[in-house]
Amino acid sequence: MTISKGPQAFPRVEYLRRLSLVKSEMARRGVEALVVSDQHNITYLTGYTARSAYVPQGLVVSSKEEEPAFILRRMDGPAAIHQCFMNRDKIIPYPEELIAHPELDGYDAVIDHLQAAGFSTRCIGIEQYNLSTLTVEKFRKRLGEARIVDLTKVVAWIRLVKSDLEIEVMREAGAIADAAIARAAEVIRPGVREADACAEIASVLIRGVNGKPGTQLEPITLCATPRTGTCHITWAEDIFRKGSQVNLEVAGSRHGYSTALMRTYSIGAPFDRLQNVHEIQLEGLEASLHAVRPGATCSDVANTFYRAIEKRGLKKESRCGYAQGIGWTEPTASLRDGDLTVLVPNMTFHLMLGNWPDEDFGYVISETVRVTETGVEVLTNSPRKIFEIS
Amino acid sequence: MTISKGPQAFPRVEYLRRLSLVKSEMARRGVEALVVSDQHNITYLTGYTARSAYVPQGLVVSSKEEEPAFILRRMDGPAAIHQCFMNRDKIIPYPEELIAHPELDGYDAVIDHLQAAGFSTRCIGIEQYNLSTLTVEKFRKRLGEARIVDLTKVVAWIRLVKSDLEIEVMREAGAIADAAIARAAEVIRPGVREADACAEIASVLIRGVNGKPGTQLEPITLCATPRTGTCHITWAEDIFRKGSQVNLEVAGSRHGYSTALMRTYSIGAPFDRLQNVHEIQLEGLEASLHAVRPGATCSDVANTFYRAIEKRGLKKESRCGYAQGIGWTEPTASLRDGDLTVLVPNMTFHLMLGNWPDEDFGYVISETVRVTETGVEVLTNSPRKIFEIS
């Protein structure tokens, strides 16, 4: 009648380490209970990866308790018992009645829990930026005697620096991304439907490599001629043609962690502009990889890339990447001019050098990287070339 | 240098019809400009399906203009020109500088547009429930002389009733879901990894059927023994075994529209409880399908199901489904006790009868249905049985 605890992606001590970092920050700010509502932060602190964030749920980290309490929909309780590192008494399901209820929702259950746990007159942190105005108003109204402070991104900043265990998981995801990039070179052919190629790529991303499956499928971005100037569409109802260019972005996924990778393909020899842009971007990629080291800033890395390609007459308007981990893009450090976040070992970034200079022309290359003690480790291993399809 | 307009999923007249419904509602409420921020509402009103909603964007529907204006990230402008039905001058890109900017974001560009378009002192509608407190405050502060009113779910309620063109697209998605359910019966075998079966299922969902590919991959939910009491996890790092039960939920996808479908599989003959629950649930499904007709309420349909299974000693705690269309679950009508939404022709629902009575046991069956002039049309065509794997 009870569900078993599933295999855990990380040992208990790893979750307790993460929680202790959060609790230190809570203590520094005088916060006694933190309501974590961002689904990726919940994954980080518990191991929970089920797809239930489309209804309200909240993880309450208490300064007084070792394990957090997870308040979520009744229906999702068994998955939480199965996946989370905590003991089952920390999984607190709220009734199905609250789903699509005209006045109440799951945040009422979170507030009920805070009240029952004695936080009604204490200092409570919330992740305000992830919550709607109506929810924030509900917290303020129903917890009128508490002091409510915004701790948006506090957990996200903590997870920017990975543990060695997390890095290992991201390496596993990187190996899956490499395999998908290689498979694409086998299945992109003139006359083949974009959808059929993507089915093969998705298959690799799910099956994984080295006995380790992808644990979910992240979106595949495939922008082929005449759509190489777009960045975020997926396969179209079209076929590949001789002379087509294909820009591909994939991510391997392990236990919620994404390792992303972009490469460009050409059916036949690359046309001159494509070849030229590739060579310039490659120089920029290598220069920016050399710029990644502890003590440098995100801005330094981005500007190294911009300078390298501008010397050769190319510009890139968009940023050069972002922190990467759970949920693909992390909402903290950004490889952009002016971001003065200082790199420290085990930060991970998607060094995303896709460049879309024209409405009808773009080129993509990227690496997911880790800051090491002395420089950089690239977490993937795909050749830095235009994949030429004969 | 310019990107071409792509093939459109719907004719221009269909988008204008949808917009006219929105504008009527705006007029009724005295709203002169509506800022649509929900990505599925944007798809509904424009045809745009690129994956860019993780950064701010807004569609401004003006009571005075035929076509809406789409303010989005520079990088995503070409995809919008390619996919949206509007003329290119209605695609208004904001600079990459606003991405991860310390003070500004894309909503500042939306507000700039509202000011430039003369709405600074007018009545402006926003979808408040989809916006963070900080964004709502920004609208109120920067548009201090405007009257800002909340139109959350106004567009969502309009899209609850589909056109015949939308129904046809959902039928195409339903055929894909059927094919995936059938493929699962071929690939679920003892000793096979859950991931490998899901790779095959995903492949069908992407390749599609009848020459019509799936246009994106919706998440696959696969909960196998000992996890059949969970509802929202995906494949585990496990294999199927003799005697295993597998609960599968998939959705075919066409142009942003999902048609979902759930079926249960048994490797070997179903165990007694499973067979018994299946028979009861099937009676409930048939009874509730008979309850779907214009004039009935959502509550009627749900209670017909509850009554049918309770007569046989089974209970279901969760609701019996929800409106379905763009983005899978629509946030409006819900097949739950007390939801007095009256059914009208061309409403579509996922009649979701998954039932998880124990932590370690659940059973799933569902249909995606359309309300017709006289009753119900089921948009899928899979046998209503436990798929027995020999």
Q: Give how far A233 is from chain B: nearest CA, Å.
A: 5
Task: Please report the pLDDT score of residue B1 as a whole number.
Answer: 78
Alpha-carbon distance values, B117 to A152, B68, B104, B127 (Å): 33, 12, 20, 19
Q: Which residues on neighbouring strands pair with residue A212, listed in sequence order? A: A209
**Is the four-CA dihedral B313, B314, B316, B321 of positive or negative sign?**
negative
Kindly indicate the confidence band of residue B244, based on its pLDDT and cuts at 50, 70 and 90.
Answer: very high
Mutate to test the interface with A, among B3, B46, B57, B94 (most CBs of A within 10 A): B3
Half-sphere exposure of A275 (CA within 13 A, CB side): 7
Task: Please report the pLDDT score of residue B105 as a whole number.
Answer: 97
Given a contact cutoff of 8 angstroms between Cβ atoms, the answer to whether B114 and B120 are in contact is: yes
Phi, psi for residue B139 in degrees, rounded to 5: -60, -45
Task: Please report the pLDDT score of residue B137 as a whole number.
Answer: 93
Q: How far apart are CA B63 and CA B32, in angstroms?
A: 5
Q: Which residues of A touch B75 (CB under 8 A)?
A: 231-232, 317-318, 356
Q: Give how far B359 is from chain A: nearest CA, Å.
A: 5
Task: Please report the pLDDT score of residue B133 as a whole number.
Answer: 87
Over residues A138-162, the mean pLDDT reads 97
State pLDDT tens for residues A71-108.
Answer: 999 999 999 999 999 999 999 999 999 998 989 999 99
Q: Which residues of A touch B233 (CB under 8 A)?
A: 49-51, 79, 82-83
Q: How far apart are CA B197 and CA B190, in angstroms?
A: 11
The pLDDT of residue A130 is above 90: no
Alpha-carbon distance values, A52 to A55, A72, A77, B320 (Å): 6, 9, 10, 17
B282 burial (CB, 10 Å; 0-12 / 13-18 / 19+) is middle
Q: How far apart are CA B158 and CA B166, in angstroms?
A: 13
Q: Which residue is closest to B203 within chain A, CA to CA?
A: A199
Q: How far apart are CA A252 and CA A260, in angstroms?
A: 7
State pLDDT tens for residues B256-281.
Answer: 999 999 999 999 999 999 999 999 99
Fold type of domain A164-389: Creatine Amidinohydrolase (3.90.230)
CB contact under 8 A, B4 and A226: yes
- Strand extents, DSSP E, chain B: 33-36, 58-62, 69-73, 91-94, 123-126, 147-150, 221-224, 245-254, 257-267, 321-325, 328-334, 348-352, 355-358, 361-363, 366-371, 376-378, 387-389
Q: What residue spans define the domains of chain A? A: 12-159, 164-389
Given a contact cutoff of 8 angstroms between Cβ atoms, the answer to whether B321 and B349 are in contact is: yes
Largest distance between two CA atoms of chain A? 70
Task: Please report the pLDDT score of residue B26 as a whole number.
Answer: 98
Given a contact cutoff of 8 angstroms between Cβ atoms, the answer to whether B158 and B22 are in contact is: yes
Give a three-class secondary structure readout of B63-97: CCCCCCEEEEEHHHHHHHHHHCCCCHHHEEEECHH
Mutate to test the interface with A, among B54, B94, B232 (most CBs of A within 10 A): B232
Report H helices in B143-212.
154-159, 164-187, 194-207
Packing angle of the helix pair A194-207, B194-207 (nearest 10 deg) = 170
Q: Give how far B118 is from chain A: nearest CA, Å.
A: 26
Half-sphere exposure of B165 (CA within 13 A, CB side): 13
- Chain B CB within 8 Å of residue A2 CB: yes
Given a contact cutoff of 8 angstroms between Cβ atoms, the answer to whether B144 and B124 are in contact is: no
By percentage, how much of chain A surpasses pLDDT 70? 100
CB contact under 8 A, A129 and B132: yes
Q: Which residue is closest to B83 within chain A, CA to CA?
A: A233
State pLDDT tens for residues B300-355.
Answer: 999 999 999 999 999 999 999 999 999 999 999 999 999 999 999 999 999 999 99
Phi, psi for residue B321 in degrees, rounded to 5: 135, -170
- Chain B CB within 8 Å of residue A226 CB: yes
The pLDDT of residue B129 is above 90: no
C-alpha distance across the termini of chain B, in Å: 58
3-class DSSP state of B301: helix
SS3 content of chain A, % helix, strand, coil (to 5): 35, 25, 40
Q: Please, which residues 81-100 of chain A have a Cβ atom closer than 8 Å to chain B? A: 81-83, 95-96, 99-100
By percentage, how much of chain A surpasses pLDDT 90? 97
State pLDDT tens for residues B10-66.
Answer: 999 999 999 999 999 999 999 999 999 999 999 999 999 999 999 999 999 999 999
Residue whose structure tokens are 């970034």:
A349
- Chain B CB within 8 Å of residue A129 CB: yes
State pLDDT tens for residues A303-354.
Answer: 999 999 999 999 999 999 999 999 999 999 999 999 999 999 999 999 999 9
The pLDDT of residue B134 is above 90: no
Q: How far apart are CA B137 and CA B141, in angstroms?
A: 6
- What lies within 8 Å, CB to CB, of A212 at 6+ separation is A172, A175, A176, A254, B237
Q: Which residues of A touch B48 (CB under 8 A)?
A: none
CATH, domain range B12-159: 3.40.350.10
Q: Which residue is closest to A137 within chain B, CA to CA?
A: B133
Report the side by side order of strands in the sheet with B376-378.
B328-334, B321-325, B348-352, B366-371, B376-378
3-class DSSP state of B127: coil
Which one-letter amino acid corresponds to residue B356?
W
Kindly indicate the confidence band of residue A368, based on its pLDDT and cuts at 50, 70 and 90.
Answer: very high
Count of CB pairs separated by less than 8 Å, A with B: 225
Q: Please, which residues 177-196 of chain A have a Cβ atom closer than 8 Å to chain B? A: 193, 195-196
Mutate to test the interface with B, among A126, A250, A298, A359 (most CBs of B within 10 A): A359
By percentage, how much of chain B surpasses pLDDT 70? 100
CB contact under 8 A, A74 and B49: no
Give chain B's length.
390
**Which residue, A317, A209, A323, A193, is CA-closest to A257?**
A323
Given a contact cutoff of 8 angstroms between Cβ atoms, the answer to whether B369 and B379 are in contact is: yes
- Chain B CB within 8 Å of residue A79 CB: yes
Task: Please report the pLDDT score of residue B385 as a whole number.
Answer: 98
Q: Give how far A132 is from chain B: nearest CA, Å.
A: 5
Q: Which residues on neighbouring strands pair with residue A124, listed in sequence order? A: A33, A148
- What lies within 8 Å, CB to CB, of A361 at 6+ separation is A228, A229, A273
Q: Which residues of A touch B136 (CB under 8 A)?
A: 133
Mutate to test the interface with A, among B231, B255, B361 (most CBs of A within 10 A): B231
Of A133, A213, A359, the CB nearest to B136: A133
Given a contact cutoff of 8 angstroms between Cβ atoms, the answer to whether A251 and A173 are in contact is: yes
C-alpha distance across the termini of chain A, in Å: 58
The pLDDT of residue A133 is above 90: no
Cβ of A28: how many Cβ atoms within 10 Å? 9
What does the radius of gyration of chain A's CA atoms come to, in whole angstroms? 23
- Chain A CB within 8 Å of residue B133 CB: yes
3-class DSSP state of A85: coil
- Report yes or no for ipTM above 0.85: yes
State pLDDT tens for residues B187-220.
Answer: 999 999 999 999 999 999 999 999 999 999 999 9
**Six-digit token pair at A304?**
């190294």
Q: Which residues of B touch A322 (CB under 8 A)?
A: 100
- Chain A CB within 8 Å of residue B209 CB: no
The pLDDT of residue A240 is above 90: yes
Given a contact cutoff of 8 angstroms between Cβ atoms, the answer to whether A50 and B232 are in contact is: yes
Least confident of A131-140, A199-208, A255-264, B114-123: A131-140
Task: Please report the pLDDT score of residue A134 as a whole number.
Answer: 86
Strands A366-371 and B257-267, by their bridges, are: unpaired
B357 burial (CB, 10 Å; 0-12 / 13-18 / 19+) is middle
- Chain B CB within 8 Å of residue A172 CB: no
